[in-house]
């Protein structure tokens, strides 16, 4: 649910998400997407979900999940661990002087929504560039 354009000079490519791993552990990398009903088909088959909780800049374009929609998707997928991604790293030049909320708030809001929608899922918030072991 994302058009794949990387304009004005970039290529257009298919937008993909992936499930990687084996029967021991499976991880879902959602890529740029929005909530879609077929996510429920992943329920019980994904251990870790890397969920995009924002887009690029202070506004959210079509085809991206905000923290609430990412929590809804995680509720459908029902992973053991959900890690919010796709936030806090890219922004239009100097916009951070006007507002920093979109650089800070999305993972925190995702955790709050997850506590209401899917409290059984562990949420791990990593700062951009951090890593964790699962």
CA distance 88 to 46: 25
Interval 34-90: pLDDT, tens: 899 999 999 989 999 999 998 777 777 778 899 999 999 999 999 999 999 988 776
Question: How many Cα neighbours within 13 Å face the side chain of 122?
Answer: 7
Q: How many CB atoms lie within 10 A of CB 61?
A: 11
Predicted pLDDT of residue 118: 97
Q: For domain 18-123, is the CATH number 3.40.50.300?
A: no
Instruction: Express as a percent the part of the chain with pLDDT over 90.
Output: 54
């Amino acid at each position: 649910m994302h058009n794949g354009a990387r304009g004005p000079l970039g290529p257009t490519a298919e937008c993909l998400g992936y499930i990687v791993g084996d029967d021991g552990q499976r991880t879902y990398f959602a890529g740029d997407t929005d909530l879609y009903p077929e996510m429920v088909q992943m329920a019980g088959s994904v251990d870790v979900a890397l969920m995009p909780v924002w887009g690029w800049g202070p506004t959210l374009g079509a085809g991206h999940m905000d923290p609430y929609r990412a929590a809804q998707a995680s509720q459908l997928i029902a992973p053991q661990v959900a890690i919010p991604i796709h936030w806090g790293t890219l922004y239009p030049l100097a916009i951070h002087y006007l507002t920093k909320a979109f650089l800070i708030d999305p993972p925190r809001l995702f955790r709050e929504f997850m506590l209401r929608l899917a409290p059984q899922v562990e949420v791990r918030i990593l700062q951009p560039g951090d890593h964790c072991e699962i």
